[in-house]
């Protein structure tokens, strides 16, 4: 048969012809519409997989139909293990039924092995990844610290609030104690006015923490001064710090003549002895009153009243009606806090001298023994300032803004008392150190909004910081006489730093000493 006689066979698709002479048509590179069907392949070629519109099976692949029409089971492909991860986790990805067991030890060993196997060119990538991870770790740690700090701050606020509630005086106890104390004070004063010549003009001046409204725990301690008014006197400094003075009376008749020495100076020790005897005589008929033994260098006669003893300190004093000593000119800086007018009014009031000395009393200065010197006192001014402590007159009054000055003072006094019970070496520290620290703090932070009651935790921490700085420096200036260092004589520098360390430990740990006190109080109640 000749070539012409052979029938012409047409290929179904030029792209699938066996001769290969014809060029296949150019394929359109534009994406096919979603509704277009896949082209049907020529005979003898594998059919492409048809997309099954039925819901996907468990393995996420549609079954492939063969030429006969039967479904072929899908081939299961195990994913390759992930590089750089724990091999235990990679196996679990391939076998979901296997329980995942990931431990820190195995993970660390795997990571070390992977680092050894890593090629040198990939090291920069790993380093950069490490830096990014480190930054994220620092940010996470910082966030965690912030949250932790907020939590600690919140817990501290709760501890301080609970402690203040425990320190609050009970009204029934206040009424009972005040009634008994007033009765004894009136009895002593009446005896002095009627039965003595030296002390017939004494008055009573109630001072101390109870009358300043900063007493804590229990109303079991009261201080009342019995001042003797004196006029036409010459007050000379005893020493160089401006806190102690000798008193010389003018040459004229005076009820205090029995206590004058040869140089016409008033003997503090002899006058205190006579005063003590008169107090003892005035209460001898009271079976519920006991006279405590005399304490060296103490200006008070201490009485214990009742079965549950109430301590009453009767303090002898001299009321000096003259201008304040020159040593006070650089102190008492309340202008920015309470105002210039208040300062002027307070400085126009008299000041007081009490028979208190330091050391053994045998030190002599200008012919006067230390035991015969007098220490200056501004307890009446301190009482006024603490009761009128706001830069605004409405501070802590009804309808006014409440501050936390007194609350901070109570907390610091309580903290010092608890530490003194645990460490006998701190016995020289007293509440007057705390009060002086608060007075200085009020002058440095004079505005009421710097002592908001809602910011008790922050304000207390600031006051603690002030006290700790004074302790570390070993210097706490007298609020009225800056040249006198209240941490100077009688207090060892080592003990100051030890107390500062104890306070900082309490600060950093959320005041565990207050928590112990709460547990004790609740268990006893």
Task: Give me the mean pLDDT over the 434-458 stretch.
Answer: 96
Task: Give me the mean pLDDT over the 35-59 stretch.
Answer: 48
> 3-class SS at 64?
strand
Query: From CA 147, how far away is CA 15, in angstroms rounded?
Result: 70
> How high is the pLDDT of residue 81?
53
Task: Give me the mean pLDDT over the 305-326 stretch.
Answer: 93
The dihedrals phi and psi of 316, each to the nearest 5 degrees, come to -75, 140
The whole model's pTM is what?
0.70
Mean pLDDT check: name the lowest of 31-35, 215-219, 230-234, 330-334.
31-35
> How high is the pLDDT of residue 307?
87
Instruction: State in Å, rounded, how far the first CA of the chain is from the last one.
Output: 127
Q: Helix H segments across 357-478?
A: 379-387, 405-422, 431-444, 456-473
Query: From CA 218, how far away is CA 397, in angstroms rounded?
Result: 24
- Per the model's pLDDT, the better-predicted residue between 518 and 188 turns out to be 188
Query: What is the bridge-based pairing of β-strands 64-65 and 205-207?
Result: unpaired
- pLDDT digits over 139-168, tens only? 433 333 333 444 446 688 899 999 999 998
Is residue 406 within 8 Å of residue 214, measured between CB atoms? yes
Confidence of residue 213 (pLDDT cuts 50, 70, 90): confident
> How high is the pLDDT of residue 496?
96
Residue 314, CB-side half-sphere exposure with 13 Å CA sphere = 32
- pLDDT digits over 341-380, tens only? 999 999 999 999 999 987 778 888 888 888 999 999 999 9
> How high is the pLDDT of residue 277?
96
- CA torsion, ordered 120, 125, 127, 130, to nearest 10 deg: -140
Task: Give me the mean pLDDT over the 25-53 stretch.
Answer: 49
Please state, for a pLDDT cut of 90, what percent of the chain lies above it.
52
Query: From CA 459, how far away is CA 407, in angstroms rounded?
Result: 10
What are the structure tokens assigned to 188, written together?
């002593």
Is residue 399 within 8 Å of residue 267, measured between CB atoms? no
pLDDT at 67 over 50: no
Query: From CA 145, how far away is CA 46, in angstroms rounded?
Result: 64
> How high is the pLDDT of residue 263?
86
Query: From CA 289, how far away is CA 157, in angstroms rounded?
Result: 42
How would you classify residue 414: left for phi > 0, otherwise alpha for psi between -120 and 50, otherwise beta? alpha
* 493-508 vs 456-473: helix crossing angle, rounded to 10: 160
Average pLDDT taken over every residue of the chain: 78
Confidence of residue 520 (pLDDT cuts 50, 70, 90): low
- pLDDT digits over 76-129, tens only? 555 555 554 444 444 444 444 444 444 444 444 445 454 444 444 444 443 334
Mean pLDDT check: name the lowest of 89-93, 234-238, 482-486.
89-93
> How high is the pLDDT of residue 77?
54
Quick count: other Cβ atoms within 10 Å of Cβ 487? 21
Is residue 247 within 8 Å of residue 353, measured between CB atoms? yes
pLDDT at 231 over 50: yes
> How high is the pLDDT of residue 129?
40
pLDDT at 56 over 90: no
- pLDDT digits over 177-186, tens only? 999 999 999 9
pLDDT at 424 over 70: yes
- CA torsion, ordered 475, 480, 483, 485, to nearest 10 deg: -30
State how far the alpha carbon of 126 is from the alpha carbons of 104, 121, 395, 464, in Å.
21, 10, 63, 49
Task: Give me the mean pLDDT over the 384-403 stretch.
Answer: 90
- pLDDT digits over 3-29, tens only? 445 455 454 444 444 444 555 555 555
Mean pLDDT check: name the lowest of 53-67, 485-499, 500-514.
53-67
> 3-class SS at 353?
strand
């Amino acid at each position: 048969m000749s070539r012409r006689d052979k029938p012409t066979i047409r290929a179904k698709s030029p792209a699938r012809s066996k001769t290969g002479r014809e060029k296949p048509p150019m394929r359109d590179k534009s994406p096919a519409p979603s509704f277009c069907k896949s082209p049907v392949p020529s005979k003898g070629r594998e059919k492409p997989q048809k997309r099954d519109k039925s819901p996907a099976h468990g393995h996420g692949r549609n079954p492939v139909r063969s030429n006969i029409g039967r479904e072929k089971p899908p081939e299961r492909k195990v994913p390759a293990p992930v590089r750089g991860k724990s091999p235990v986790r990679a196996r679990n990805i391939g076998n979901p039924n296997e329980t995942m067991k990931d431990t820190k030890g195995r993970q660390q060993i795997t990571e070390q092995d992977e680092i050894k196997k890593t090629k040198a060119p990939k090291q920069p990538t790993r380093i950069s990844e490490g830096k990014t991870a480190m930054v994220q770790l620092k940010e996470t740690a910082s966030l965690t610290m912030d949250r932790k700090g907020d939590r600690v701050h919140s817990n501290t606020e709760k501890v301080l609030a609970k402690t203040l509630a425990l320190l609050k005086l009970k009204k029934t106890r206040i009424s009972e104690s005040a009634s008994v104390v007033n009765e004894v004070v009136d009895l002593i004063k009446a005896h002095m006015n009627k039965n003595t010549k030296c002390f017939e003009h004494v008055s009573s001046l109630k001072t101390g923490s109870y009358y300043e409204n900063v007493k804590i725990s229990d109303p079991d301690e009261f201080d009342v001064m019995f001042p003797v008014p004196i006029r036409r006197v010459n007050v000379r400094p005893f020493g160089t710090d401006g806190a102690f003075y000798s008193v010389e009376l003018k040459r004229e008749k005076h009820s205090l003549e029995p206590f004058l020495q040869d140089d016409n100076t008033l003997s503090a020790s002899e006058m205190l002895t006579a005063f003590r005897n008169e107090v003892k005589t005035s209460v001898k008929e009271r079976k519920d009153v006991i006279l405590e033994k005399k304490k060296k260098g103490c200006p008070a006669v201490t009485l214990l009243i009742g079965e549950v003893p109430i301590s009453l300190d009767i303090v002898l004093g001299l009321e000096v009606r003259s201008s304040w000593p020159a040593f006070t000119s650089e102190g008492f800086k309340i202008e920015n806090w309470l105002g210039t007018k208040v300062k002027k009014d307070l400085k126009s009031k008299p000041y007081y001298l009490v028979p208190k000395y330091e050391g053994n009393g045998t030190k002599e200065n200008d012919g006067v023994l230390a035991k015969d010197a007098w220490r200056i006192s501004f307890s009446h001014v301190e009482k006024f300032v603490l009761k009128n402590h706001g830069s605004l007159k409405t501070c802590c009054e009804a309808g006014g803004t409440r501050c936390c000055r007194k609350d901070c003072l109570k907390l610091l006094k309580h903290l010092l008392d608890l530490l003194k019970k645990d460490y006998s070496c701190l016995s020289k520290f007293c509440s007057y150190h705390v009060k002086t620290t608060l007075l200085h703090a009020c002058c440095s932070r004079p505005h009421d909004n710097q002592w908001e009651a809602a910011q008790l935790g922050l304000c207390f921490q600031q006051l603690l910081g002030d006290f700790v700085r004074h302790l570390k420096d070993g210097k706490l200036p007298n609020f009225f006489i800056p040249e006198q260092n209240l941490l100077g004589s009688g207090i060892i520098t080592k003990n100051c730093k030890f107390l500062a360390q104890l306070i900082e430990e309490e600060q950093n740990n959320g005041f565990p000493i207050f928590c112990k006190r709460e547990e004790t109080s609740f268990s006893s109640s």
